[in-house]
DNA sequence: TTGAAAGCGCTAACAG
DNA sequence: CTGTTAGCGCTTTCAA
């Protein structure tokens, strides 16, 4: 009597059988319009709310989907989470969010634990093997984000196109050799970016080389700047925005100027890309709609749509040009900041020299 | 056949009654060690996983908590979400995340919808009235984040202390009058910050005035810079980091330099505060542990701890000094950038003049 | 169109 | 310690 009113309370108050109340809510057509109305009325007065858990027990429809990300910390996911959450709640679904902390063991655990509770999964940047993913996908509807997995629906950004645009942009600015600052070792996205860069370079008659692998973090970017200093180029393309930001910071403290001495391009267009100075030119992925489409597709699939669409849904990317890229300055062939090991005095020298040449 | 094995399957295979299987999992002590082991074994072989929904139906323990935020978009929540998620999953709980999109109607809806499903709520920056919150808190365990509500457990950052530190910092740098750039109108945090600033100003013999209200966004900050220009001060304290960042951007485009012409301090220490240039000096709130503590307290409360701790848990803040604050330059009393309406040419003039005085 | 009855998978008394 | 018996709140046959 203290708890929420149940279907029985409503039935009693409305003078009908419990099953009728149930019908009135789930299959309004199958019940006399008048009684349906009365039931609705009574339910309203009593403040009745159907218990989704009880419903789920027999129907297996929990109205919940899980979004599992590999690292909540990563700003890359912020917009994705947002897009996913909105899509889910717009469809009357509740979103469960879990973080696997880059651990495949934990990821498995989470999937197992959530399995009976949710109707489907969105796996963002999973650490699992393709076959492991396929196994899970056999048991519950699933869509994979940011990585194609054969036989499983997925949504990915159009990396080749975006990379191509970035390379064109750099080329047009007069940069003829570009350093790709690579991301995590086994990452599909990293491989894709590198290959796309190679291909674009070939077509555009640019040279591209690679350093890395690196963690996709600001700190790693700072570190990578040292690496870059050993054999500098006037333009770099980084695996992601955090790396690019770290790079900018590292370069700056070493006395190089962005974009004057080196143009920097990132990937993803996370929110902070517009906040840093100089603003980061980056290959924007449609983060929000990636999250949204993933959930929408998942729901469609849950709703019975044959997942024939097993070929990746690829979402358009676009180059967002800000201030971290500029015309190549041809005045100096070998920038002072990168001629040799960069010490404090060297960077100081570099700074004054570049100031002088202004 | 087909579906997941149930407790009955295990019982049959192990040659015991279903209830025994149930006990073996929930109250291992109350069952013969040998049989318990056998059951566990059989369960393992069959790949049995308890269905949390079914369990919840009778126990009302769903192992889920909800975190409801007012705007997933806001970077302020990122670390909070992370802290909350980790605390929840460390305790074997699943976290449901919902976004109320700043709408109290939606917030109510979400709470109602989630009510039967979760064991408790963490309400971050709720839009609901105190009484509305108390009503909900009567029905389910709840802890309110970032705002104290009488009679309901809450966790808040130590705003007075942080504000005081910020004011001291500014005072030590020689700034004697400070503009507080206010946040959203009805915000508890805004009121708190303003009052704390007033108080600190009084004690430190500084002057402080206020502009606003403003939305807590970068865009609003840019706008606020115009407002500030009408009656400039050499130092500003902004309601939050986004506002501060917008302010910096606005000031810069208007020809003022940060921190040379005006020192800027923000609130919260969101991740991006360390990414912008200049790095933003800010009153850091322990975002991650706010999320974590909120969930931990919620779980304790769910676990039966009397919520005697109805007085807010206040978490320490600290001043994070970066590069957006500096010694007041006493050379000019009235900076060129703010003498009058700022047009393009005026800002250009200001820029060169300040460059000249370098 | 409606009621009665039998579960969904698990837990919780209550006996033995 | 273990089996039996009722449910948790809702859906779903199956008759009426």
pLDDT at B318: 97
Mean pLDDT across B151-173: 97
Mean pLDDT of chain B: 90
C1' (C10) to CA (A121) span, angstroms: 25
| B125-159 residue pLDDT tens | 899 999 999 999 999 999 999 999 999 999 999 99
Tell me the residues of chain A between 227 and 256 that have a Cβ less than 8 Å away from chain B.
245
- On whether the CB atoms of residues B135 and B157 are closer than 8 A, the answer is no
Kindly determine whether residue B96 and residue A94, on different chains, have CB atoms separated by under 8 Å.
yes
What SS3 class is residue A30? helix
**Beta carbon of A66 within 7 Å of strand C?**
no
Going by pLDDT thresholds of 50, 70 and 90, the confidence category of residue B4 is: confident
B201: pLDDT strictly greater than 50? yes
**Between A53, A97, A276, which is nearest B53 by CB?**
A53
- CB neighbour class for A176 (10 Å; exposed up to 12, middle 13-18, buried from 19): middle
Q: Which residues are bridge partners to A152 per DSSP? A: A149
In the DSSP assignment, the letter for residue B279 is: P
Distances, alpha carbon A148 to alpha carbons A68, A162, A310, B326, in Å: 16, 17, 9, 50
Would you say the CATH fold of A159-284+318-352 matches that of A64-157+288-315? yes
CA–CA distance, B28 with B36 (Å, rounded to integer): 7
Alpha-carbon distance of A193 to A266, in angstroms, equals: 11
Is the per-residue pLDDT at B350 higher than 50?
no
Alpha-carbon distance A262 to A264, whole Å?
A: 6
CATH homologous superfamily for the domain B159-284+318-352: Response regulator (3.40.50.2300)
Residue B317 and residue B284 in contact, taking contact as beta carbons nearer than 8 Å: yes
**How far are the Cα atoms of A111, A145, A159 from residue A294, in angstroms, in the given order?**
17, 7, 17
Q: What is the pTM of this model?
A: 0.88
Q: Quick one: which residue's CA is nearest to C8's C1'?
A: A58
Tokens matching residue A189: 């996205």
Outline where DSSP puts E strands in chain A. Answer: 64-69, 94-99, 120-124, 142-145, 154-157, 177-181, 207-211, 235-238, 263-268, 281-284, 313-315, 318-320
CA angle B97, B99, B103 (to 5 degrees): 150
CATH no., domain B7-59:
1.10.260.40
Asked whether residue B176 carries a pLDDT value surpassing 80, the answer given is yes
Is strand C less than 7 A from the beta carbon of A16?
A: yes
Bridge partners of residue A64, in order along the sequence: A94
CA distance B129 to B123: 12
- Residue A97 is nearest to which of B97, B112, B116, comparing CB atoms? B97
pLDDT at residue A58, rounded to an integer? 92
CB B68 within 8 A of CB A84: no
Distance CA(A172)–CA(A284), nearest Å, equals 19
Q: Does B94 touch chain A (CB under 8 A)?
A: yes
| Amino acid A2: pLDDT | 55
Q: What is the nearest CA distance from B242 to chain A, expressed in angstroms? A: 9
Angle at B280 between CA B324 and CA B258, to 5 degrees: 25
Closest nucleotide to A57: CA versus each C1': C8
User: Residue B337: pLDDT above 90?
Assistant: no
- Residue B73 token pair: 């978009």
- Taking C1' of D9 and every protein CA, the nearest residue is A54
- Is the pLDDT at B193 greater than 80? The verdict is yes
Give the residue-averaged pLDDT of B335-357: 40
Residue of chain A nearest B3, judged by CA positions: A139
Contacts of B54 in chain A (CB under 8 A): 57
pLDDT at A346: 35
Per domain, the residue ranges of chain B are 7-59, 64-157+288-315, 159-284+318-352
B177 touches A at CB < 8 Å:
no
Closest chain A C-alpha to B14 CA, distance in angstroms? 23
Total count of residues recorded for chain A: 358
Q: Report the pLDDT value the prediction gives residue A308, as an integer from 0 to 100.
A: 59
**Range A64-157+288-315 has CATH code 3.40.50.2300:** yes
Geometric angle at alpha carbon B53, from B52 and B55, rounded to 5°: 65
Q: Is B347 on the interface with A (CB under 8 A)?
A: no
Tokens of A145: 């984000």
- Please judge whether B272 and A272 are an interchain contact, meaning their C-beta atoms are less than 8 angstroms apart: yes
Provide, rounded to the nearest whole percent, the portion of chain B with pLDDT above 70.
91
Closest approach of B188 to chain A, Cα-based (Å): 25
DSSP B40-51: HHHHHHHT----
Q: What is the mean pLDDT of each run of 10 residues along chain A (358 residues)?
A: 82 94 91 93 93 93 96 90 95 94 92 93 94 94 95 96 98 97 94 98 97 94 96 97 95 94 97 89 97 97 77 96 92 54 36 30
- Residue A355: per-residue pLDDT: 29
Please list, in sequence order, all residues whose beta carbon lies within 8 angstroms of the beta carbon of residue A130, skipping any fewer than 6 positions away. Answer: A149, A150
Is B276 an 8 Å CB contact of chain A?
A: yes
Say if strands A120-124 and B154-157 run parallel, antiparallel, or are unpaired: unpaired
Residue of A89, A110, A249 to mutate for B, most B C-beta atoms under 10 A:
A89
Query: Do the Cβ atoms of A184 and A215 come closer than 8 Å?
Result: yes
Question: What is the pLDDT at residue B338?
Answer: 59
> Which residue in B has a C-alpha nearest to residue A60's C-alpha?
B53
DSSP H helical ranges for chain B: 7-14, 18-26, 33-46, 52-59, 76-90, 104-114, 130-139, 159-172, 188-204, 218-230, 241-253, 287-302, 344-356
Q: In this predicted structure, what is the pLDDT of residue A300? A: 94
Question: Tell me: the pLDDT tens digits for B239-275?
Answer: 999 999 999 999 999 999 999 999 999 999 998 898 8
Q: Which residues contact A357 (CB under 8 A, 6 or more apart)?
A: A331, A332
Q: Is A140 left (phi over 0), alpha (psi -120 to 50) or beta?
A: beta
Protein footprint on strand D: which nucleotides are under 7 Å from a CB? 1-5, 7-13
- In Å, how far from its chain's centre is CA A217? 15
Task: Give the Cα separation of B100 and B294 in Å (integer).
Answer: 18
- Taking the Cβ of residue B113 and every Cβ of chain A, the question of whether any pair is shorter than 8 Å is answered with yes
pLDDT bracket for residue B349 (50, 70, 90): very low
Cβ-Cβ contacts under 8 Å, A78 against chain B: 72, 75, 78
Cβ of residue A135 closer than 8 Å to a chain B Cβ: no
Predicted confidence at residue B52, as pLDDT, reads 93
What are the residues whose beta carbons fall under 8 Å from the beta carbon of B39, sequence distance 6 or more? B10, B14, B16, B20, B21, B24, B31
Residue B248 neighbours by CB under 8 Å, 6+ apart: B221, B258, B264, B276, B278, B280, B324
Please list every residue in chain A whose beta carbon sits closer than 8 Å to the beta carbon of residue B73.
Answer: 82
Radius of gyration of chain A (CA): 27
Shortest alpha-carbon distance between residue A182 and chain B (Å): 21
Evaluate whether B248 touches B258 at the Cβ level (below 8 Å): yes
Can you give the pLDDT at residue A275? 86
Q: Which nucleotide is nearest to B11 (CA to C1')?
A: D3
| A266 vs B139: CA distance, rounded Å | 48
Tally the C-alpha atoms within 13 A of residue A311's C-alpha that lie toward its C-beta. 1
3-state SS class at B159: helix
pLDDT at A338: 59
Structure tokens at A151: 């036989």
């Amino acid at each position: 009597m203290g708890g929420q009113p149940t279907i029985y309370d409503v039935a009693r108050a409305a003078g009908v059988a419990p099953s009728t109340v149930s019908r009135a809510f789930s299959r309004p057509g199958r019940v006399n319009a008048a009684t349906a109305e009365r039931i609705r009325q009574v339910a309203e007065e009593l403040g009745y709310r159907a218990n989704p858990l009880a419903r789920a027990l027999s129907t297996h429809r929990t109205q919940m989907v899980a979004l599992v990300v590999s690292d909540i910390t990563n700003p890359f996911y912020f917009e994705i989470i947002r897009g996913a959450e909105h899509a889910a709640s717009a469809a009357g679904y509740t979103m469960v969010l879990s973080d696997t902390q880059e651990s495949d063991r934990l990821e498995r655990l989470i999937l197992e634990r959530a399995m009976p509770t949710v109707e489907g999964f969105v796996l963002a940047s999973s650490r699992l093997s393709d076959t492991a993913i396929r196994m899970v996908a056999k048991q519950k509807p699933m869509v994979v984000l940011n990585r194609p997995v054969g036989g499983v629906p997925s949504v990915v950004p159009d990396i080749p196109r975006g990379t191509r645009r970035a390379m064109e942009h750099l080329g047009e600015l007069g940069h003829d050799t570009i350093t790709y600052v690579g991301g995590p070792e086994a990452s599909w996205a990293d491989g894709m970016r590198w290959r796309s860069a190679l291909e674009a370079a070939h077509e555009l008659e640019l040279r591209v080389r690679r350093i890395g692998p690196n963690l996709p973090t600001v700190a790693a970017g700072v570190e990578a700047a040292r690496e870059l200093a050993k054999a500098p180029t006037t333009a770099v393309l980084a695996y992601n925005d955090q790396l690019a930001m770290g790079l900018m910071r590292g370069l700056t403290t070493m006395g190089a100027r962005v974009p004057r001495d080196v143009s920097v391009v990132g990937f993803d267009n996370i929110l902070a890309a517009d906040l840093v100075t100089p603003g980061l030119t980056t290959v924007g992925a449609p983060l929000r709609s990636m999250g949204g489409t993933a959930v929408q597709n998942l729901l469609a699939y849950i709703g019975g749509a044959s997942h024939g669409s097993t070929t990746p849904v690829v979402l358009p990317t676009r180059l967002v040009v800000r201030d971290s890229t500029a015309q190549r300055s041809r005045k100096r062939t070998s920038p002072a900041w990168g001629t040799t090991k960069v010490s404090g005095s060297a960077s100081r020298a570099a700074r004054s020299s570049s100031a002088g040449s202004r």
